[in-house]
Amino acid sequence: MPQNESSFSVTSTSHNPEKSDPNPPKQASVNKNTEHHSNSPITNSPANSPSLTTNKTHNSLPPTIISHHNDHSMITRAKTGHLKPKAFTTIFEPTTVKSALADPQWLQAMQTEFKALTDNNTWSLVPLPPHKKAIGCKWIFRIKENPDGTINKYKARLVAKGFLQTPGFDFTETFSPVIKPVTIRIILTLAVTYKWPVQQIDINNAFLNGILHEEVYMTQPTGFESSDKSLVCKLHKSLYGLKQAPRAWYERLTQTLLQMGFIASKCDPSLMVLHQQGACTYVLIYVDDILITGSAPHLIQDVIQKLNFKLALKQLGEVDYFLGIEVHKTASGGLILNQSKYIRDLLCKTTMDNCKPIGSPMVNSCRLSRFGTDAMSDPSLYRSTVGALQYATLTRPDISFSVNKVCQFIAHPLESHWKAVKRILRYLKGTVNHGLLLHPSPSSPPFSLRAYSDADWATDQDDRRSTSGSCIYFGSNLVSWGSKKQPLVARSSTEAEYRSMANTTAELLWIQSLL
């Protein structure tokens, strides 16, 4: 039997010239990870090697070392001693300004951010007025990755410490709407059905375009102070971190689009619609990530050029990665929306990246309760993981019910609840590339709406409330779904079903109004 070149065998024999031993000793094999073992001394003792027998009444020979070398013709690196070097590098995001300034890549990112702030006239250096307080600022460093995990760019962002702002003095209104996920799926369904192009743009330093109406002062950014360090920055434009920054940016963007002839949808204010030359153009706004689609490609390019004239933007071409959602085109002209990278990152964060996959997110016999097992030792881990799973339901309706169940125990999670969460993660491990398919439906009316609703009855062990479930199809594509615990106890299964149907009907009417 051929032996591995990094192993050797030790054989001990007993010798008696007059009488042979009827029970010869057994052969012991010892494996060592060493390359030079032929001259290595080996000590055998009965205490350390029980498989080696020693007969004191006989004249025993010393143990014999037999080295087995692999003598086949293949030349390996282990034979020649040439080992292939392996280098594993990890790029860390700096946590201090000092470490960032010492790195050329992060220094360049900081200089780019500071230049954008100064070119935009974001602030002016003035003495701090009496009875005024200057809030602080901080540098944030992030590595922007592509969907395949490669590095896109090094991003440095100067943010204001908005938590130091005083309500009523430093800010008033803060709310800023964003596009609803259902609206995104509906517009993408229209684009797939009618073969519209879907362009994606990103506004450079979006929040810096918002106009501040309040008087806000900020300390000078670390590493870029002027010669007179007693001066402070009087902000003229909104800055990341300010309470009113998202609203100020949204007002600036919507005013620009309204001047171009767009109108805001009454059902979703973040959906802007333009009717021009017999064609429709749609703009979907999620803070500074924007999708533009419509029936006329030349009008789409016209809108992008006008926006670029008033707001510095970066045209990303056809949409392929939006809000952490990967968009893949199919051969039939459809789209597949999935969150494979997001799910992999979540598995790594929870140390479940090497877990064993499982076939379902929850077993039918699972009955979670607020009472029973011990409390979870790290509730914050439970809350952050469940919150991340909620975002994963944007393209995964198959985990909607199970995620809704584990969300009910965020306040006081138990070990049994965490076990249910890990089962969902194991299911995602095996279905990491699954997603939502949006495809053209020529066989069915493109504007048909179909809805399905269902409900259980008094299945919650703690309060006996029911759970509703629904899904709505736009054409043949699933655009809306949900699972939610009912707010009141249903006195019959019929009442539970009607409550679920009422909620589904309300969602259906909202979608009809949106269209």
The answer, yes or no, to whether residue 455 has pLDDT greater than 50, is yes
Tell which wins on pLDDT, 367 or 81.
367
Which pLDDT tens digit goes with each residue over 243-289?
Answer: 999 999 999 999 999 999 999 999 999 999 999 888 899 999 998 88
Residue 11: pLDDT band (50, 70, 90) is very low
Share of the chain above pLDDT 90, in %: 49
Residue 444: pLDDT band (50, 70, 90) is low
The answer, yes or no, to whether residue 7 has pLDDT greater than 90, is no
Buried b vs exposed e over 430-459: b needs ≥16 C-beta within 10 Å? ebbebbbbbbbbeeeeeeebeeebebbbbe
Tell which wins on pLDDT, 80 or 213.
213
- Cβ count within 10 A of residue 496: 24
Rounded to 10 deg, the angle between the 379-392 and 400-407 helix axes is 150
Residue 67: pLDDT band (50, 70, 90) is very low
Q: Which pLDDT does position 5 carry in this prediction?
A: 40
pTM (predicted TM-score): 0.75
DSSP 303-341: HHHHHHHHS-EEEEEE-SEETTEEEEE-TTS-EEEE-HH
Q: Strands 217-218 and 134-135, how do they pair?
A: parallel
Residue 90: pLDDT band (50, 70, 90) is low
Q: Which pLDDT does position 356 carry in this prediction?
A: 93
Q: Which pLDDT does position 19 carry in this prediction?
A: 42
Q: Of all residues in the chain, what percent are helix, strand and coil, respectively (each to 5)?
A: 30, 25, 45
DSSP for residue 171:
B
Residues 431-460, mean pLDDT to the nearest whole number: 85
Residues 400-426, mean pLDDT to the nearest whole number: 92
Residues 51-61, mean pLDDT to the nearest whole number: 42
Residues 389-398, mean pLDDT to the nearest whole number: 94
- For tokens 């282990």, what's the residue? 78
Which pLDDT tens digit goes with each residue over 288-297?
Answer: 889 999 999 9
Q: Which pLDDT does position 20 carry in this prediction?
A: 43
Residues 189-195, mean pLDDT to the nearest whole number: 92
Q: What is the dihedral of CA 119, 121, 125, 130, to 10 degrees?
A: -160
Residues 477-495, mean pLDDT to the nearest whole number: 92
Tell which wins on pLDDT, 19 or 151.
151
Tell which wins on pLDDT, 76 or 159.
159
Residue 78: pLDDT band (50, 70, 90) is low
Q: Which pLDDT does position 425 carry in this prediction?
A: 95
Tell which wins on pLDDT, 189 or 50.
189
Q: How far apart are CA 25 and CA 55, in angstroms?
A: 10
CB 155 within 8 A of CB 144: yes
DSSP 253-287: HHHHHHHTT-EE-SS-TTEEEEEETTEEEEEEEET
Which pLDDT tens digit goes with each residue over 25-36?
Answer: 444 444 444 444
Q: Which pLDDT does position 95 carry in this prediction?
A: 83
- Cβ count within 10 A of residue 412: 12
Which pLDDT tens digit goes with each residue over 105-147?
Answer: 999 999 998 998 898 889 999 999 988 889 999 999 998 887 7
Provide the total of helices (H) and of strands (E) in the chain, helices listed first. 11, 22
Residues 86-103, mean pLDDT to the nearest whole number: 75
| Of 421, 415, 414, 363, residue with least CA distance to 388 | 421
Q: Which pLDDT does position 179 carry in this prediction?
A: 93
Q: Which pLDDT does position 472 carry in this prediction?
A: 94
Buried b vs exposed e over 287-308: b needs ≥16 C-beta within 10 Å? bbbbbbbbbbeebbeebbeebe
The answer, yes or no, to whether residue 385 has pLDDT greater than 90, is yes
The answer, yes or no, to whether residue 182 has pLDDT greater than 50, is yes
- For tokens 């997603």, what's the residue? 435
Q: Which pLDDT does position 64 carry in this prediction?
A: 44
Q: How far apart are CA 255 and CA 285, in angstroms?
A: 13
Buried b vs exposed e over 170-179: b needs ≥16 C-beta within 10 Å? bbeeeebbbb
Residues 82-101, mean pLDDT to the nearest whole number: 70
CB 498 within 8 A of CB 173: no
| Of 194, 197, 195, 245, residue with least CA distance to 218 | 245
- For tokens 């707010």, what's the residue? 487
| Mean pLDDT, all residues of the chain | 82
Tell which wins on pLDDT, 316 or 17.
316
Q: Which pLDDT does position 24 carry in this prediction?
A: 46
Q: For the chain, give every domain's residue range.
A: 1-88, 97-323, 337-436, 441-514
Instruction: Give the least confident one: 85-94, 241-250, 418-427.
Output: 85-94
Tell which wins on pLDDT, 165 or 41.
165
Cβ neighbourhood burial of 216 (10 Å; 0-12, 13-18, 19+): buried
